[in-house]
Chains A and B, each alone.
Chain A
């Protein structure tokens, strides 16, 4: 008898634009000591499928149209809100995606942890406290007894996610639903958290439903995998079946979307430097009071003409700040930046303006980097007119040419950003960046907000544009697989400093620094890439 048996779950959203079948006849089972991974891209309904079991979807507009979900002999979909609340606390708990927003910043960690114990088990405060301390220790938080009295802001992202896991475990649930629990985390931390979840599951013999958009993340931990698209499980099977003999084209597409090749170095060694940075320092905050943050600390770097330089680092390593400093979007406190041989670190906004057309930026989040009040036409026309690339008469032709270059349909020219998907928006943003025919582009995590299949398209678009317009690019990313796919040369950054640099091939096959090795080791789904599936 399975722990949880979901049969024909159907959830529709009744919006003013019509009925959206978010989950359409989905069935699955979860057993003790087993991890079911539900894989799907954003909007596929994977979260709705799980949340609707616990009554956690907004109703209206959501409505459960059909199905049963048997858990401990009861149909979850028929329970009253009061009974469901007991299930949520004791039977099935959830680990949310973003550990930064799922803890109450005004309550100490300990007080948040004991809350469910006091509520659901009516436990004495002292008893609850000691139990919470034990769990905190179990999820690997050092000095657990002391940390119980700490505030959420005193924890890093990874540590907070450990606290969230402790909170999910504290009522000893039978099932844990983990909704993209590592998406907001750095790779090395992600590897730790994945290992922790696997360990806890084995030790406590519980069922885990692991929701993710990324097949490689679950390659090492899932027993069964369900692939979801448009509200339907298109394929379901054991991990090995999915990875080795997937039959559905969508699953095959997902598998193929994991970038696993290495770019052929396209640049002969001796080309002129495009950007040279010497001993660059970017510090924030008050240095007189010794509270400065050294985002970039004494970095020297040369980007050669025509190459794609991958800049890799974890969050807080200063990689984005370095990219922005080169474009003079943040000001350095010391050091020199030369663009095509000309020192630009001291130029003011007026002197920079003519240079701006030659150096552009592509941003991480296409939902934030486009002005929501401007149509595609306005967005693309703005740089063209500003830098007098074309006059009004030639504007239409140039805008359409740009849209062709980035693969946007021409008849979308008068639409607004909110009418496009994430991948299309990123195409608009790329179009804006190449509008002025720049020679140098900083791409700051341009694919990390996108679904995997879209990622591959955008990466290929970038490669094509670099080739066609002879661009030089600084590609900033936390994702090693992506960087390897795209870059000629890689530099690794940690705590504001460069720790290693070399050709992509050398970095991956023969890393010199321990930090680089740790990063490489943490890439999820290495086994998937090497075709060698096993639990470590």
Chain B
């Protein structure tokens, strides 16, 4: 054993870095071709959506009534709709809204659900019972009616849509997190943290949540498509986004009305939505396998 009063080195860049479980998962994920393809498509869609105002040749509300609905051509790659608006532009702009709804509503669900579920699971006992009964009550509310009511009372706006969908999705998240936390809090490292004298909040955020993040991330990637579908459904019912703004759901809804004369108005937004959902699901599945090596054969 080295003497304690020997010169003690500083923590330097030269120290070999360990491989964290996250890095380990990334290595596994990279080998999953389907998941990486999913990730690639997602990144492409996201970049396209973000850059839309700069790269799209037309504005999303730019009408050309004289042109009317035309099939795909060299000027309009995906054709135009009945108002003569460029479909490619509208699909990309629709993607902006759809993705934003998916990501923001999921983020809301994550924030609320993870905190709520982690507290309930960690504190346990009576606190847990009360908190989870509350969740049960929310579960019992017919959420479509809840959202429709919100939309009717407060009018249709985007922010409210995020909140409304997030308010519904956090329930499942809270339940999943609570279950995970209950098993993690039995671990000895949590007991060790208690015996060090750490406060419950520190233990929850530093020791418990990082160890349940795996399943949470996976569930989040599977929530995003769920939320996007929900938004599409609400828009389809006329409760979501207002024209001339568009979302994939709204575009599909219009497309359905004119399906027989102008099929491209349905096909392209439908394809865009389906492709993104596929990509998200493959990526989510890949993540699950990567984060839980025991489930896959590696």
Q: Which residues of A contact B187 (CB under 8 A)?
A: 368-369
> In the complex, are the beta carbons of B4 and A404 less than 8 A apart?
yes
Given known contacts A372-B211, A387-B197, A416-B20, A397 and B15 CB-to-CB distance under 8 angstroms: no
Given known contacts A370-B189, A416-B19, A404 and B210 CB-to-CB distance under 8 angstroms: no
Q: Is B140 an interface residue (CB 8 A)?
A: no
Q: Which residues of B contact A370 (CB under 8 A)?
A: 189, 192
Q: How long is the Cα–Cα vector from A405 to B1 in the complex, in angstroms?
A: 7
Q: Is A489 an interface residue (CB 8 A)?
A: no
> In the complex, are the beta carbons of B207 and A371 less than 8 A apart?
yes
> In the complex, are the beta carbons of A401 and B4 less than 8 A apart?
yes
> In the complex, are the beta carbons of B189 and A400 less than 8 A apart?
no
> In the complex, are the beta carbons of B4 and A415 less than 8 A apart?
no
Cβ of A383 to closest chain B Cβ, rounded Å: 5
Q: Is A365 an interface residue (CB 8 A)?
A: yes
Q: Is A418 an interface residue (CB 8 A)?
A: yes
Given known contacts A363-B191, A375-B18, A414-B15, A397 and B197 CB-to-CB distance under 8 angstroms: no
Given known contacts A363-B188, A396-B10, A414 and B210 CB-to-CB distance under 8 angstroms: no
Cβ of A58 to closest chain B Cβ, rounded Å: 8
Q: Is B298 an interface residue (CB 8 A)?
A: yes
Q: Which of B250-298 touch A at CB < 8 Å?
A: 297-298
Q: Which residues of A contact B18 (CB under 8 A)?
A: 375-376, 412, 414-416, 419
Given known contacts A375-B18, A404-B2, A414-B16, A363 and B192 CB-to-CB distance under 8 angstroms: yes
Q: Mark B1-16, 1 if CB is under 8 A from A, else 0.
A: 1111000111100011
Q: Is A353 an interface residue (CB 8 A)?
A: yes
Chain B interface category by residue count? 20 to 34
Residue among A58, A377, A400, A415 making CB contact with B8, cutoff 8 Å: A400
> In the complex, are the beta carbons of A356 and B195 less than 8 A apart?
yes
Residue among B2, B199, B210, B297 making CB contact with A373, cutoff 8 Å: B210
> In the complex, are the beta carbons of A369 and B19 less than 8 A apart?
no
Q: Is B55 an interface residue (CB 8 A)?
A: no
> In the complex, are the beta carbons of B194 and A411 less than 8 A apart?
no
Cβ of A136 to closest chain B Cβ, rounded Å: 34
Cβ of B293 to closest chain A Cβ, rounded Å: 11
Cβ of B242 to closest chain A Cβ, rounded Å: 44
Q: Which residues of A contact B191 (CB under 8 A)?
A: 329, 361, 363, 369
Q: Which residues of A contact B9 (CB under 8 A)?
A: 400, 410
Q: How long is the Cα–Cα vector from A354 to B8 in the complex, in angstroms?
A: 29
Q: Is A65 an interface residue (CB 8 A)?
A: no
Q: Is B21 an interface residue (CB 8 A)?
A: yes
Name which of B10, B11, B193 has the most chain A CB atoms within 10 A of its CB.
Answer: B11
Interchain pairs with CB closer than 8 A, number: 105
Q: How long is the Cα–Cα vector from A372 to B192 in the complex, in angstroms?
A: 13
Query: How many residues belonging to A are interface residues under a CB distance threshold of 8 Å?
Result: 50
Q: Is B134 an interface residue (CB 8 A)?
A: no
Given known contacts A411-B15, A414-B18, A368 and B195 CB-to-CB distance under 8 angstroms: no
> In the complex, are the beta carbons of A418 and B21 less than 8 A apart?
yes
Cβ of B209 to closest chain A Cβ, rounded Å: 10
Q: How long is the Cα–Cα vector from A107 to B31 in the complex, in angstroms?
A: 41
Q: How long is the Cα–Cα vector from A418 to B21 in the complex, in angstroms?
A: 8
Q: Which residues of B contact A203 (CB under 8 A)?
A: none
Task: Please report whether the interface of chain B is mostly helix, strand, loop or mixed according to DSSP.
Answer: loop
> In the complex, are the beta carbons of B197 and A432 less than 8 A apart?
no
Name which of A371, A397, A400, A429 has the most chain B CB atoms within 10 A of its CB.
Answer: A371
Name which of A327, A359, A404, A405 has the most chain B CB atoms within 10 A of its CB.
Answer: A404
Q: Which of A332-386 touch B at CB < 8 Å?
A: 349, 352-354, 356-357, 359-361, 363-365, 368-373, 375-377, 382-383, 386
Q: Mark B195-235, 1 if CB is under 8 A from A, else 0.
A: 11111100000010011000000000000000000000000
> In the complex, are the beta carbons of B20 and A369 less than 8 A apart?
no
Q: Which residues of A contact B133 (CB under 8 A)?
A: none
Q: Is A407 an interface residue (CB 8 A)?
A: yes
> In the complex, are the beta carbons of A386 and B198 less than 8 A apart?
yes
Cβ of A359 to closest chain B Cβ, rounded Å: 8
Q: How long is the Cα–Cα vector from A387 to B3 in the complex, in angstroms?
A: 25
> In the complex, are the beta carbons of B189 and A368 less than 8 A apart?
yes
Q: Is A234 an interface residue (CB 8 A)?
A: no
Q: Is A413 an interface residue (CB 8 A)?
A: yes
Q: Is B126 an interface residue (CB 8 A)?
A: no
Q: How long is the Cα–Cα vector from A442 to B208 in the complex, in angstroms?
A: 24
**In this complex, what residue of A is CB-closest to B23?**
A416
Name which of B8, B16, B31, B198 has the most chain A CB atoms within 10 A of its CB.
Answer: B8
Q: How long is the Cα–Cα vector from A419 to B11 in the complex, in angstroms?
A: 19
Q: Mark A394-426, 1 if CB is under 8 A from B, else 0.
A: 001101110011010011111110110000000
Q: How long is the Cα–Cα vector from A58 to B296 in the complex, in angstroms?
A: 13
**In this complex, what residue of A is CB-closest to B200?**
A349
Q: Which residues of B contact A414 (CB under 8 A)?
A: 11, 15-18
Q: Which residues of A contact B298 (CB under 8 A)?
A: 16
Cβ of B290 to closest chain A Cβ, rounded Å: 13
Cβ of A468 to closest chain B Cβ, rounded Å: 10
Q: Which residues of B contact A329 (CB under 8 A)?
A: 191, 194-195
> In the complex, are the beta carbons of B192 and A416 less than 8 A apart?
no
Given known contacts A371-B207, A373-B210, A400-B8, A411 and B16 CB-to-CB distance under 8 angstroms: yes
> In the complex, are the beta carbons of B197 and A416 less than 8 A apart?
no
> In the complex, are the beta carbons of A371 and B189 less than 8 A apart?
yes
Q: How long is the Cα–Cα vector from A432 to B17 in the complex, in angstroms?
A: 20
Q: How long is the Cα–Cα vector from A356 to B19 in the complex, in angstroms?
A: 32
Q: Which of B1-49 touch A at CB < 8 Å?
A: 1-4, 8-11, 15-21, 31
> In the complex, are the beta carbons of A419 and B194 less than 8 A apart?
no
> In the complex, are the beta carbons of B11 and A396 less than 8 A apart?
yes
> In the complex, are the beta carbons of B197 and A386 less than 8 A apart?
yes
Q: What are 9 A-B interface contacts by the 8 Å CB criterion?
A: A16-B31, A356-B197, A368-B188, A369-B189, A372-B211, A373-B21, A375-B18, A386-B197, A405-B4
Could you tell me which B residues sit within 8 Å of A by CB distance? 1-4, 8-11, 15-21, 31, 187-189, 191-200, 207, 210-211, 297-298
5 smallest beta-carbon distances between A and B, as pairs: A415-B18, A356-B197, A369-B188, A353-B197, A373-B210
